[in-house]
Amino acid sequence: MKIVGRPRRQKGHLSQRCGSWLGSWRRYDKDGRPTKESSTLGPVLEVSENQARDRLRRIITQIEDSAAITSRISGRGIVELDAPVLDRIAKLSHLGKGTTSELLVCVDLIGKGLHPLRAVDAQACCDLVVVDPSGRMLRVEVKTAGQTQNGKYVCRLGRNIGKFDVAAFVFPGGRIEYRQACQINDDLYPLDNKDLSHT
């Protein structure tokens, strides 16, 4: 996955709307196409202009740091598994398969020079927090791909949409597909069979 970044750092734009500070900035997808985003930063009567600018700066810093670390995660990864291991994984429960997928992603990320940290809370907003050598962090949601009757693979994101930076889809055989959160707009995310035809 190639992330086309913005020169560090964009300043964003601060304005007033309906008695509140409004911060806006641009987020760039993997092809360099910009999307304008904005957020309310607090009431004008309670938050000074300097405080609002500081909040906007922190938002932009988080977004650009996430883009920088995401660029280290390629579009695909694979953890080689032999046939007996694949047979055992296939017999696991739904929970067991999910745990195995998380561990496979951890192995792949470690191989990319990153440090994955697994959530200990089952209700956490994401499965992994990934830290790069400079200390920047990224939220990763891991999903095990399921195959439909027509042979297509899909993953259900559910309640966690909007709470992670990258989704890692794990397929039978150990293949991993990484997608930026901005590429995912639906609860049921489809992946074509052609995604599995090459490494």
Q: pTM of the prediction?
A: 0.64
One domain for residues 168 and 108:
yes
CA 46 to chain centre: 34
pLDDT of residue 4: 38
Question: What's the domain count of the chain?
Answer: 2
pLDDT of residue 43: 93
Residue with tokens 């740091």: 65
- Give the structural domain span for 65: 13-70
Supply the pLDDT for residue 14: 92
Question: Is residue 63 located within the same domain as residue 18?
Answer: yes
> With 0-12 CB in 10 A as exposed, 13-18 as middle and 19+ as buried, what is 194?
exposed
For residues 84 and 166, membership in a common domain is answered with yes
Q: Is the same domain home to 18 and 109?
A: no
Q: Examine residue 126 and state whether it is found in any structural domain, yes or no.
A: yes
Based on the domain organization, do 61 and 80 belong to the same domain? no
Residues 61 and 82 in one domain: no
Residue 21's pLDDT is 92
pLDDT value, residue 191: 56
Give average pLDDT by consecutive 10-residue segment, the chain, 199 residues.
Answer: 46 90 82 81 93 89 72 66 74 83 91 89 86 85 78 68 81 81 61 43
CATH number for the domain including 137?
A: 3.40.1350.10
Cα–Cα distance, 4 to 156 (Å, whole number): 27
Distance (Å) of CA 117 to CA 58, 132, 192: 23, 11, 30
| 145 and 180 both lie in a single domain | yes
Domain closes at, from 52, 70, 88 = 70
